[in-house]
Each structure stands twice: as C-alpha cells, then as structure tokens.
Amino acid sequence: MKSIIGRKMGMTQVFAEDGTMYAVTVIEVLPNVVTQVKTADKDGYSAVQVGYEDLRESRANKCEKGHFAKANVTPKKHLAELKGDELASYKVGDTIAVDLFKAGEIVDVIGVTKGRGFLGSIQRYGHKIGPKGHGSGYHRGVGSMAMNGRPNNRVIPGKKMAGHHGNSGSTILNLLVVKVDAEKNYILVKGSVPGPKKALVTIRSAVKVQLGEKQFVKDLVNLKADVNKLNEEVAPVAAEAKGE
C-alpha cells in the first residue's frame, strides 16, 4: 500500500475525447519530504513521517528547527505519518512525488468533514418534521424519549439528539484516479472527497479492492493542444485575407 498527503482545491469537470464527462476533485500534491523514518525495532511500528509545504524559518520554534535540521530539510508547515510496504524504501530527505499514483488506479481519500456547528436532530439526522398545524406546538422537536417501558429515569445511550455535527474524520473508499500531472503537481480524482476547500487530505491505495486493480480511463481532451493546433491552421488563412 502507498499513500501521500495533498490539499483539496475544489471540484471541476473534464471531458474525454468521446464526450464522456468526469466530475473530479482537484487535489494539489506538492512533494512530500521524508523527515523521519519509524522502525519496528525502535518505535514499535513501521512508517515514514513526511513534511508538507515549506515554512519560514522564523515561524518555527527551537524544537522544530532541531527536528528538521537533523533530517537536513527545510522547516515544514504540516507533518504526517504514512504507512505502507511500498514506502519502506524511502529514507530521510527523500521526496515522495505526485507520480506515486497513476491514472486508472483505485484509491481511498481520508480527510476531515466540514464543521456544521450545533444542529437539531431534523437537520443532523434527517428526522421527519412534526405536524405543521399552528396549534400543534411541535414542529422540529427531538421526538419521543420513551425507554421501552423501563422507568429508570434516564435516556438510553445512543439516542439521536441535537448536537455538534461535522468536523470529524471521514474516509471515501474506491475513488478512481482520472489524471496525474507531475509537472503541475495535481491529481484528479473522480467524485467528491471530505473537507472544505484548502483542506489537507491523505490519498492511499484502496484497501477494499484487490491490490493493483485498475479501471479504464478514457483519453481526456487536451484543450491547450487543440487551441494551438487551431491557431496554426487559422494563421495562414488570416494572413492571406490581410494580403500579407
């Protein structure tokens, strides 16, 4: 299994040459720099610690400066641990790039959902609203507190009530990688991923599909190349029209 850290930038749509449309999430994946290697002998488990996005040295405290100096890398804003057999070969100072994944692979995306604040049970769990008559006096209540005939003067744990909603860890399974651009450092993943724009996410190999399984991704339209080709074809005609 392999994994990498990225930043969700938003959603868009891309088209294949036959007109197929893919609704995709754009994930910016800057180089992940290995800052520490965890081993089973020393730490009890195997993983690599990576840093994401450069941090001004004046913004780092003394402990952080010492940690990054030991790895001989510049200070980083975010640190995360990645696990997987395919990451075992990386050493301190190495870079994990966006081309770790290829188009057609199946991945899981891990993030933190948008925080919704304090919500009632109607909006939080989709409960049915009460009678709408003016005299009912009960429109968006929490519902019955009955305890199946047990008079123990308490609410049974697990009762769906009003409370804080969102801002919790979430994993979306089995998403298709539509495109990987190593030059511009981004991945296009079919479908939506958890979190608001600019949120950090972790992309890993899918755990509920067979290792190495891929899906067919049709060839995408290269609009820039098509525009350049069109300009080359139109330029002689335009020049002839002007009498040049």
Structural domain count of the chain: 2
Dihedral sign from CA coordinates of 28, 197, 77, 91: negative
Top mean-pLDDT range of 58-62, 217-221, 223-227: 58-62
For residues 238 and 52, the model is more confident at: 52
Q: Are residues 61 and 142 in the same domain?
A: no
Q: Are residues 104 and 120 in the same domain?
A: no
Q: What is the CATH number of the domain that holds 44?
A: 2.40.30.10
Q: Are residues 54 and 90 in the same domain?
A: yes
Residue 175 φ/ψ, nearest 5 degrees: -100, 150
Q: Are residues 129 and 222 in the same domain?
A: no
Q: Are residues 105 and 47 in the same domain?
A: yes
Q: Are residues 91 and 203 in the same domain?
A: yes
- In the chain, count H helices and then E strands: 4, 12
Domain housing 120: 116-166
* Per-residue pLDDT tens over the stretch 146-203: 777 766 778 888 889 999 999 999 999 999 999 999 999 999 999 999 999 999 999 9
- How much is the pTM? 0.83
95/73 Cα distance (integer angstroms): 11
User: What pLDDT does 8 receive?
Assistant: 97
Q: Are residues 84 and 108 in the same domain?
A: yes
DSSP state of 211: T
